[in-house]
Amino acid sequence: MGQAMLSAIISKGLASPASITVSDKNNARLKQLKQDFSVYINDNNLNAIIGGDTIILAVKPQNLDVVMSEIGGQLKPEQLVLSIIAGKNVASLRQGLKHDAIVRAMPNTPAQIGMGVTVWTATDEVTEDQRSAVSSILGAMGKEVYVADESYIDMATAVSGSGPAYTFLFMESLINAAVEIGLPPEKAQELVLQTVTGAS
């Protein structure tokens, strides 16, 4: 999902590659991102956040504690943290990062093709300019929906976060049923894809 955000930010012209630093512990992954997107790379999270206006946290939930131990207390008050880490609420981010300007967002996998939907919320310390920037970043991946109540993000995770998997399962079942009644597999797939697209 982090790569999807990176791609959307650059392709929509929200930031130039030269203004973006990507950090990862996997050096091979970093080199690939540099090759694909011409961004700066750094394997040190603390060095990566220096001078950044928006710090995007796109790590697996089990890796968040390590990241917070590295950059916690080191962020400037004017820096914005945008987290897309599933299941990690604002309170835990605020405490672990020792920082107040935080946005929590829940994108879904169709964001990878610019057709996603992301539900997000922000702390009171996030400025109007920062909210506008977040709206642009998340909107570059599809539709963005702001909610004032953070509990809606957990609810949205069950609907839009998991929803694509249920949609794929339904489509797969419909294709299999079409094949079972005699349609060739390629025709069954074509019919189902267009039916679901048209219905939506």
Give tens-digit pLDDT for 108-159.
Answer: 999 999 999 999 999 999 999 999 999 999 999 999 999 999 999 999 988 9
Mark whether 107 and 168 lie in a shared domain: no
Instruction: Compute the mean pLDDT over every residue in the chain, rounded to the nearest whole number.
Output: 95
The percent of residues in the chain predicted with pLDDT above 70, rounded, is 100
Asked whether the whole model's pTM tops 0.85, one would answer yes
Mark whether 171 and 125 lie in a shared domain: no
pLDDT reported for residue 123: 98
Mark whether 89 and 44 lie in a shared domain: yes
pLDDT surpasses 90 at 60: yes
Q: How far is CA 72 from CA 13, 171, 187, in A?
A: 30, 44, 54
Mark whether 176 and 131 lie in a shared domain: no
Identify the three-state secondary structure at position 143.
strand
Q: Strands, DSSP E only, in the chain?
A: 21-23, 40-42, 54-57, 80-83, 102-106, 116-122, 142-146
pLDDT surpasses 90 at 25: no
Mark whether 128 and 176 lie in a shared domain: no
Q: Could you give the number of structural domains in the chain?
A: 2
pLDDT grade for 23, boundaries at 50, 70 and 90: very high
pLDDT surpasses 90 at 164: yes
Q: How many CB atoms lie within 10 A of CB 116?
A: 22
pLDDT reported for residue 196: 95
At 121, give phi and psi (nearest 5°): -140, 165
User: Using CA atoms, how far apart are residues 155 and 135, in angstroms rounded to an integer?
Assistant: 20
Mark whether 187 and 123 lie in a shared domain: no
| Residue 184 lies in domain | 164-199
Mark whether 144 and 170 lie in a shared domain: no
Q: What is the mean pLDDT of residues 38-59?
A: 94
pLDDT reported for residue 157: 87
Mark whether 85 and 172 lie in a shared domain: no
pLDDT surpasses 90 at 193: yes
User: Using CA atoms, how far apart are residues 95 and 81, in angstroms rounded to an integer?
Assistant: 13
pLDDT surpasses 90 at 74: yes
CA atoms within 13 A on the CB side of 108: 24
Mark whether 113 and 129 lie in a shared domain: yes
Q: Which of 96, 98, 57 is nearest to 76 (CA)?
A: 98
Mark whether 68 and 151 lie in a shared domain: yes
Mark whether 69 and 90 lie in a shared domain: yes
At 141, give phi and psi (nearest 5°): -100, 5
Mark whether 93 and 115 lie in a shared domain: yes
For residue 109, the domain's CATH number is: 3.40.50.720
CA atoms within 13 A on the CB side of 163: 14
pLDDT surpasses 90 at 64: yes
